Chain A
Amino acid sequence: MKIFEELKFVIFFITVIILIIGIRIYNRNYFSHSVEETFELSLDTNYYLSHLELEGEIDYTIIDIRDIRDADTYINKHMQYAVNIEFPDLLKRTNRRLLDRGDKVIIYSDDISESVKAKSLLNQIGYSNIYILELRSTLEIDKDSVCLKNEMFKYKFQLDTAIKPE
C-alpha cells in the first residue's frame, strides 16, 4: 500500500497528460486515407481512362455524377449502364453499395474537375478503385477520340523575336 501511495502521483500525472493530449488532438476525422496517400493516388495516371480503354473493361460500375435535375440530360446523354449519383449524394450510405460492387468504379462528368473532386473525396474515405473516364467538353461519345492520360499542352508557344530588352 505504501508503494501505491508513492505511485499515486505518477499515475495521476500520466492520466492528466494523456487526457490533455487526447483533447488537443481529437478530431472527428473519418478519412481512411491520409493526404499523402491521396496525393500518391492522384499521381497515378492509370486511374484515368479513355473511351477506348473502357471498351476493354469487363467488371466495373460506371457512375454519372452530373446534376440531372434536367431529366432530359440524363435520358438523352448518359452512357450505357451508367448509374447516376449526384455529387451531393456521394457520401450517402445507400450509394456505398454501388461503390463496393465492382472491381473498378468509373466516374464521369461533363466537367473533369468535378470527376477529380469526386475521385479525390472517395479516395480519401478509403476507395482506391475509383477511375475517371475522360470525356470531351460535351458528352458526345466519340469512338475515335483518344484521350490523353496526362495533361498535354495542345498549342505551341511562339517566341516574339522582335522584342529587344531595354
Chain B
Amino acid sequence: MMNYRVKFSILLIILGVILVLLPSMKKSINELNPNELLSKFMDNSYSISVDRLARYIVNEDTTIQIIDLRSSEDYKAFNIPGSINIPYTSLLNENWEGYINQNEKKNVFYANGDILSANAWCLTSRLGYKNNYIMAGGLNNWYKTVMESKFTGKRISPKESVLFEIRFKARKLFTQFNSLPDSLKVQFLEAKRMEEEQLNGGCN
C-alpha cells in the first residue's frame, strides 16, 4: 500500500503533464464568441485601399506581408510584387498558421475581387488572429486604379501629383516584376531593395 505522499506526488506529476499539454488547445480558447465577432466585423479599419498598398510596395515597407489567395496557377501568371501565395482552399492548413497568426507584420489578403479575401478575413478573425486586413476591391481594383489610371484634369495638385507618382512607380514595378522569369523575381526584388538603400544613404 502506497502512502499518501507517494500518491500525491504521482497526482501532481500527472496534473503537471496535463497542464503542459493543454495549451495545444489554445487555438479554440482564443476563438471569439458571436457578439465579439460582430463587434469586430463592424470595425471597417480592416480594409486597406489599393493606393495605400501601392505606397507600401513602392516604399518597400517591411511591416506588411501581402497574401495572394488565388490559386497557384493564377499566382504564377502574375502577382503583386513581394506577395506570398496561400490559396484560399488551403487557408486552414496548419502549414500556413505561422504566416497568418503572427503579431509582427500586417497581413493584407487579396484575390481578384472582395469575396475570397473577406471570407479569409472572417475566418481568421473568428480564430482570434490579429493583424489581418484586406485590399479593398482586389486585383480588379488594383488594375483599375494603379495599372490603368490616367490623370485627365487640366492642372494637377501637389497631392494628386504624389498619388500619381506612386501609382506610376507601382505600375512599373508590377509590370517589370511579372515580366521576368520566375527564377529572377527574388533577385530582382533584392537588387531593387539594395538600390533603394544606396539612394537613401544606407549601408551595403
Q: A residues engaging B (CB < 8 A)?
A: 9, 13, 16-17, 20-21, 24-25, 27-31, 35-36, 38-39, 42-43, 48, 87-88, 90-91, 111-113, 116-117, 120-121, 124-125, 151-155, 157-161, 163, 165-166
Chain A hits for B148, CB < 8 A = 155
B interface size (C-beta, 8 A): 57
Which residue from chain B places its CB closest to the CB of A117 in the assembled complex? B41
CB of B7 within 8 Å of the partner chain? yes
Tell me the minimal C-beta distance from B60 to chain A in angstroms: 19
| Complex CA distance for A87 and B74, rounded to whole angstroms | 33
Chain A hits for B181, CB < 8 A = 165
* Given A27-B28, A124-B34, A163-B176, A113-B22 contact (CB < 8 Å): no
Tell me the minimal C-beta distance from B20 to chain A in angstroms: 11
| Complex CA distance for A21 and B134, rounded to whole angstroms | 37
CB of B19 within 8 Å of the partner chain? yes
| Complex CA distance for A16 and B10, rounded to whole angstroms | 13
* Given A20-B19, A160-B176, A25-B92 contact (CB < 8 Å): no
| Complex CA distance for A149 and B19, rounded to whole angstroms | 47
Question: Using a CB-CB cutoff of 8 Å, which residues 7-25 of chain B contact chain A?
Answer: 7, 11, 14-15, 18-19, 22, 25
One of B94-102, B138-146, B155-163 at the interface: B138-146
Chain B hits for A166, CB < 8 A = 191
One of B50-58, B115-123, B196-204 at the interface: B115-123
Which residue from chain B places its CB closest to the CB of A24 in the assembled complex? B22
| Complex CA distance for A152 and B147, rounded to whole angstroms | 17
Chain B hits for A90, CB < 8 A = 38
Chain A hits for B92, CB < 8 A = 35-36, 39
Tell me the minimal C-beta distance from A120 to chain B in angstroms: 4
* Given A30-B33, A90-B38, A163-B180, A151-B116 contact (CB < 8 Å): yes
Tell me the minimal C-beta distance from B57 to chain A in angstroms: 16
Q: Is the CB of B91 within 8 A of A39?
A: yes
- Identify B122's interface contact among A48, A116, A161, A165, CB under 8 A: A116
Chain A hits for B127, CB < 8 A = 35
| Complex CA distance for A36 and B178, rounded to whole angstroms | 34
Chain B hits for A111, CB < 8 A = 114
* Given A113-B47, A163-B179, A17-B115 contact (CB < 8 Å): no
Q: Is the CB of B180 within 8 A of A165?
A: yes
Q: List 22 A-B contacts (CB under 8 A).
A: A20-B18, A24-B25, A25-B22, A25-B25, A25-B29, A27-B28, A29-B31, A31-B34, A31-B126, A35-B92, A38-B123, A38-B126, A87-B41, A90-B38, A120-B122, A120-B123, A125-B34, A155-B144, A157-B77, A163-B176, A163-B179, A165-B188
